Amino acid sequence: MGFLEVFEPIAVLFLILMSGFMARRLTVFDDTVVKGLSSLLLKVTLPALVIDSLQRSYSPDLMRDSGSVLLMAVPIYLVSAVVALMCGALPGVGRDNAGVVRFAVMFPNNGFMGYPVILSVLGSEALFLAVIYNLPFNLVVFTVGILFITMGRGGKKSFDPKVLLSPAVVSVVIGFLFFIFSVRLPGALAEAVRLLGSVTTPLAMIIVGATLSGMKLSDVFGNWRVYFVTAMRLLVMPLLIWFVLRRFDLSPLLLSVLVLLNAMPVAINGVLFAAEYDANPAFAAQAVFVSTMLSALTIPVIALLLR
């Protein structure tokens, strides 16, 4: 595993992000279109990606590995949630930034970016484990994640329990049931779901790029809070999780998958949620941008430490 093998998928995402940046700058589309694309991603393409990733035949070995991954998700989420809440309450963070700080520290981009990185670094067997880990992740990010974004804000944009029935959460349940009962979608439907899901990653990066297009570089790189959440997300959290998981009897592959997934930059969902709930989407986009850029350096370092 070389540096370039890890760097390449990150570079691809950045190029797509810049296409969204330039398209918005050149007024190819406006903010109304960006909001519509965000809704399309959350309600259509992301659920399709989740279902497609779970189109696998059931086997006892896969189920046992799946159980180990899901079991380890519990301490990971508990540790991450405690640290995220502490970071959001630090002096100087500010009420307007606290929601994004909490979200950014807890939730890595382990779906959009994690999949290609895991595949290139650890292989296809590790990719299945990553998909299984994302089962509870999707449930947590659409519940706890939104709760973290909206905590203390009040008003009509507070957390709505109806999110538990959102398309993304429902797709997790459906996809896992398909896996348990080895349900395979018929040809045309399977291909349609696959194609819709494949749109998710580039569409998400275009949305982030478009959101960033209205910012000054001084705003992106001049906010100390961005560097704080980036350091927490890319270095502190994966090393802390590595320290915790070393106490369990895990295979080297499973340990590497769990730590690497939590070494990903800030989840793109944070930008979408912040925009939906009026919780400082500009700061969320800055955190995604800077953490994604610097992850090109930190992910290979974390991967090398796991060897």
Q: Domain count of the chain?
A: 1
For residue 100, is it within any domain? yes
* Tokens found for residue 117: 């990185």
Q: What CATH number corresponds to the domain at position 49?
A: 1.20.1530.20
153-170 pLDDT, tens per residue?
654 445 556 666 778 778
For residue 201, is it within any domain? yes
For residue 104, is it within any domain? yes
10-24 pLDDT, tens per residue?
778 788 888 998 999
Nearest to 254 by CA among 239, 242, 265: 242
Return all residues near 66 (Cβ < 8 A) that are at least 6 apart. 132
pLDDT of residue 161: 64
**What backbone torsions phi and psi does residue 108 show, to the nearest 5 degrees?**
-85, 165
pLDDT of residue 155: 45
pLDDT of residue 1: 54
pLDDT of residue 41: 86
pTM for this one?
0.78
pLDDT of residue 205: 82
Q: Give me the residues paired with residue 108 across strands.
A: 266
| Low-confidence spans in the chain with pLDDT less than 50 | 155-157
For residue 306, is it within any domain? no
111-157 pLDDT, tens per residue?
767 887 887 788 877 888 888 888 788 778 888 998 899 886 654 44
- What's the domain range around 287? 3-300
pLDDT of residue 282: 86
d(CA 143, CA 173): 14
Cα angle 172, 173, 179; round to 5? 90
Distances in Å between the Cα of 288 and the Cα atoms of 11, 76, 81, 105, 178 are 14, 21, 19, 11, 32
